[in-house]
């Protein structure tokens, strides 16, 4: 069973055909209990000591922490988030394409652009979820079975305030030694986000029996519900629903 952790995620060709093959394993996967599948254990951590003020309107945050399927899936279940889009950040526009990013030579990281209401969930609270359940911030240039700089742990700060909050929170968590290993999350500024291909959007919701999702990502959503019950929303906000509206 452990070998399922290392199944390679599909490229565009596989995404068009291999999902049906992997779906054959759904019956076997159903025998497992989701809480026992966590490839990256959630960590209960305190909120940031420094945060933005709750205000009306919308803000955006761009976060990278391994495969964007799971990161997107987590934040789509956060109350106050109105949109969460998988994409690429850190490199050039011409290189913002899955197979090219997968070479690890583009400077891009698989990332998620989150649109949120600061009156309901602040930037600092998003970072708390990011560090706690969305990924493991102690893994340098990899997350679980995925290796390469495209899977790095990075906060793409949109402005000086976001950068200040992120820096302070990383220092706070590092001082508290809550993870057992040093936090390797970096902060990058001045980078452009490019949306990923349509077949990557809403992947967790659309493919709940896909082995990679079952093993690596569904436990993250379960951890969000357990650790952040006041922010958890059962019905995710989906990209496809946004496009249809």
Q: What digits encode the pLDDT tens for the residues 187-243?
A: 999 999 999 999 999 999 999 999 999 999 999 999 999 999 999 999 999 998 777
At 129-172, the pLDDT tens digits run 999 999 999 999 999 999 999 999 999 999 999 999 999 999 99
67 is catalytic: yes
Name the least confident of 6-15, 19-28, 150-159: 19-28
> What structural domains does the chain harbor?
56-244 (3.30.1060.10)
pLDDT at 187: 98
Q: Please pick, among 4, 67, 112, 114, the residue that the annotation labels catalytic.
A: 67
Q: Please say if the pLDDT value at position 7 is more than 80.
A: no
Mean pLDDT computed over every residue of the chain = 87
Q: Please say if the pLDDT value at position 10 is more than 80.
A: no
Q: Please say if the pLDDT value at position 60 is more than 50.
A: yes
Predicted TM-score (pTM) of this structure: 0.87
pLDDT at 39: 55
Task: State the pairing for strand pair 81-89/193-195.
Answer: antiparallel
pLDDT at 156: 98
**CA-based nearest residue to 168, from 50, 64, 54:** 50
At 83-96, the pLDDT tens digits run 999 999 999 999 99
Q: Please say if the pLDDT value at position 116 is more than 90.
A: yes
pLDDT at 107: 98
Q: Please say if the pLDDT value at position 43 is more than 80.
A: yes
pLDDT at 9: 54
Mean pLDDT, residues 44-53 taken together: 96
SS (H, E, C) the chain: CHHHHHCCCCCHHHHHHHHHHHHCCHHHHCCCCHHHHCCCCCCCCCCCCCCCCCCCCCEEEEEEECCHHHHHHHHCCECCEEEEEEEEECCCHHHCCHHHHCCCCCCCEEEEEEEECCCCCCHHHHHHHHHHHHCCCCCCCEECCEECHHHCEEEEECCHHHHHHHHHHHHHHHHHCCCCCCCCCEEEECCCEEECCHHHCCHHHHCCCCHHHHHHHHHHHHHHHHHCCCCECCCCCCHHHHHHC
């Amino acid at each position: 069973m452990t070998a399922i952790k290392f199944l390679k995620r599909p490229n565009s060709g596989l995404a068009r055909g291999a999902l049906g093959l992997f779906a054959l394993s759904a019956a076997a996967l159903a025998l497992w209990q989701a809480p026992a599948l966590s490839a990256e254990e959630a960590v209960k951590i305190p909120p940031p000591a420094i945060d933005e003020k709750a205000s009306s309107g919308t803000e955006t945050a761009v976060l990278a922490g391994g495969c964007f399927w799971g990161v997107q899936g987590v934040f789509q279940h956060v109350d106050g988030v109105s949109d969460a889009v998988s994409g690429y950040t850190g490199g050039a526009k011409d290189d913002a394409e899955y197979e090219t990013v997968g070479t690890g030579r583009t400077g891009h990281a698989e990332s998620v652009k989150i649109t949120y209401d600061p009156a309901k969930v602040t930037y600092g609270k998003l970072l708390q979820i990011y560090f706690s359940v969305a990924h493991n911030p102690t893994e340098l240039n990899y997350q679980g079975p995925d290796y390469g700089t495209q899977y790095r742990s990075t906060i793409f700060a949109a402005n000086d305030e976001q950068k200040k909050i992120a820096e302070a929170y990383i220092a706070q968590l590092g001082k508290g030694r809550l993870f057992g290993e040093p936090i390797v999350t970096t902060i990058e500024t001045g980078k452009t986000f490019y949306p990923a291909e349509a077949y990557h959007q809403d992947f967790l919701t659309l493919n709940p029996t896909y082995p990679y999702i079952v093993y690596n990502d569904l436990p993250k959503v379960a951890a969000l519900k357990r650790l952040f019950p006041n922010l958890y929303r059962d019905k995710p906000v989906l990209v496809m629903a946004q496009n249809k509206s």
